[in-house]
Amino acid sequence: MTPALEIMGLTAGYGEVPIVRDFSTRLAPGSITTLIGGNGAGKSTLLRAVYGTNRIFAGHIVFKGEEIERLAPWDRLARGIGFVPQGRCNFPLMSVGENLKMGGYSLAARGRRAAIERVTAMFPMLRRKWPVQAGNLSGGEQQILETAMVLLTSPSLLLLDEPSLGLSPKMQNEVFATVRAIAAAGVTVLIVEQNVHGALLVSDRAIVMELGRKFLEGPASAVRNDPRIREAYLGGNIKEVAAG
Ligand SMILES: Nc1ncnc2c1ncn2[C@@H]1O[C@H](COP(=O)(O)OP(=O)(O)OP(=O)(O)O)[C@@H](O)[C@H]1O
Ligand SMILES: [Mg+2]
């Protein structure tokens, strides 16, 4: 099967400093992959490199059969890569409706209306909160709004950086359910998560990064059961929770 995304020997970073080194992986279409690693491991740097907002020193990123590592972020967006960065990224003083119109600014008016219909059908909360200032939504609602703003462009690959950070356990579960729904619609998802346990439960595969390099990769269930991962990221003897 042709991978949805193939990264080959990627070295990327900022200015003169490489952070991610010699990183390779392939993502299957419609799969969910979680990227795990300690603070500063290079997870956000890897997502930024796929989207095109930092420096690539070496390697290739192949998307839809084309090397994209030299393309600008807007060209990657136009080809179907969506990126929801770490932290809040809505327009807090604008309403939910205005934020969605901003998210679809690159679409023609008719396409934008249809896209907004599509994402608000997926997340009915956005219809209920349409006139509310985005900054007044709960953290989880803002995360869903930001994801919806990116989904307006119909990406086939979605990059999510720490979508559940700072959310209550209940909202975290809602975010993970959202990720599942997105992948069920055929979108390939690469997600960075601090809630390693929750993310592994919804993921097909997992990649562990240490000091900018790939340390381990495999099916999410195998990574979840790896003693090194349990020790470092899952607090040792976690209780088993049935996947599903
Ligand atoms: N804009 C930047 N300019 C220079 N160095 C940066 C920049 N952004 C990140 N770095 C450095 O790159 C390294 C990796 O950072 P990165 O944000 O990719 O880590 P991370 O794995 O996402 O960590 P966290 O879990 O804390 O979000 C860090 O040493 C960081 O200081
Ligand atoms: Mg990060």
Domain spans, the chain: 81-154
| Least distant ligand from the CA of 86 | 2
* Ligand number with the minimum distance to the CA of 18: 1
* Atom 28 of ligand 1, nearest CA residue: 40
d(CA 150, CA 158): 8
- Residue nearest ligand 1's atom 26 by CA: 39
Instruction: Give the amino acid at 28.
Output: A
Query: What's the pLDDT score for residue 25?
Result: 98
Q: Can you give the pLDDT at residue 157?
A: 98
48 lines ligand 1 (CB under 6 A): no
Give the residue carrying structure tokens 């179907």.
80
Residues 6+ apart with CB under 8 A from 22: 9, 10, 11, 58, 59, 213
One-letter amino acid at 125 equals: M
pTM of the model: 0.93
Ligand 1 site, residue 45, Cβ cutoff 6 A: yes
- C-alpha torsion sign, points 41, 47, 53, 59: positive
Q: Kindly state if the Cβ of 47 falls inside 6 Å of ligand 1.
A: no
- Give the pLDDT confidence score for residue 180 in this predicted structure: 94
Alpha-carbon gap, residue 205 to 175, rounded angstroms: 18
* Inter-residue contact 189 to 32 (CB < 8 Å): yes
Alpha-carbon gap, residue 104 to 101, rounded angstroms? 5
Low-confidence ranges of the chain (pLDDT < 50): 238-244
DSSP 95: B
CA–CA dist 166, 86 (Å, integer): 11
Is the shortest distance between the CB of 211 and ligand 1 below 6 Å?
no
Decide: 18 in ligand 1 pocket, CB within 6 A: no
187 CA to centre of ligand 1 in angstroms: 26
| Strands 55-63 and 5-14, bridge-based pairing | antiparallel
Please give the pLDDT value at position 143. Answer: 92
Separation between Cα atoms, residue 149 and residue 163, nearest integer Å? 14
Residue 153's beta-bridge partner residues? none
> Percentages helix, strand, coil for the chain, rounded to the nearest 5?
40, 25, 35
The residue contributing the CA closest to ligand 1 atom 1 is: 14
